[in-house]
Structure 1
Amino acid sequence: MIAGLNEYAAVGAARAVVDKGYEEQVNMVGFDSSMEEIRLLERGVFEGIVIQNPYTMGYVAVEQADRILKGEKTQEFVNSGSKLITKEDMYSEENQKILFLFTED
């Protein structure tokens, strides 16, 4: 099992696995959603990819910064959300909106 905890680590590990022909022997999970990672998921190199929610991350960060500036208490931990997407569910309507943020409806 290999887990790439960011785009570069995930894609680099996947390239090495593919180059050595180990796709069937190694289970892989990626993190983030570059087009290369999406293609690797579609090909079955990745068992899944974990997608973050950058909009929520930014929103919560600004919200917490505003609280600090106002002298208010902030939360020690804020869950901005993430989702595991697999080859089987990557083209569901909900997951397409997450994977392909900049395409037209």
Structure 2
Amino acid sequence: VGVCEAVEELGLADTIQVVGFDAYDGAMARLGSGVLDGVIVQNPYNMGYLGVRYAVKCLNQEQITHIVDTGVTLVTKSNMNDEDVQWLLSN
């Protein structure tokens, strides 16, 4: 948020590329205006599903991996209105 504010105040949106992590209040507006070039968004469904799946495996004393990739999506001005991106942002 602070970087976006500084880029806006200094008028450097065309000079500095800014990418954030996780959608926050105002992120989509800043993507639309060009102050923010991208937002890396996690997949909440996979986080919950895989979390429960691995918890059950632990309860059943099954072997699990220590690193679980739940997936991320880079949201940009060009894909921010796509149906799958909107689903990620609304969950």
TM-score by length of 2: 0.86
Matches within 5 A, 1:42-57: 42-57=32-47
Give the CA deviation at 1:21: 2.0
Counterpart of 2:23, as a letter, is: S
Q: What's the Cα RMSD here?
A: 1.5
Higher relative contact order (Cα pairs below 8 Å, separated by 6+ residues):
2
Matches within 5 A, 1:32-43: 32-43=22-33
**How far apart are the structure 2 equivalents of 1:65 and 1:90?**
33
Indicate conservation of the 8 Å contact 2:44/2:88, yes or no.
no
Of 60, 63, 68, which residue of structure 2 is paired with 1:70?
60
* Residue aligning to 2:17: 27
Counterpart of 1:42, as a letter, is: G
Of 77, 84, 88, which residue of structure 1 is paired with 2:74?
84
**How far apart are the structure 2 equivalents of 1:43 and 1:68?**
46
* Residue aligning to 2:87: 97
Percent of aligned pairs with the same residue? 36
TM-score by length of 1: 0.76
Count of aligned positions:
91
2:48 alignment partner, SS class: helix
1:45 alignment partner, SS class: coil
Q: Unmatched 5+ residue regions in structure 2? A: none
Q: Unmatched 5+ residue regions in structure 1? A: 1-10
* Residue aligning to 1:14: 4
Give the CA deviation at 1:69: 1.9
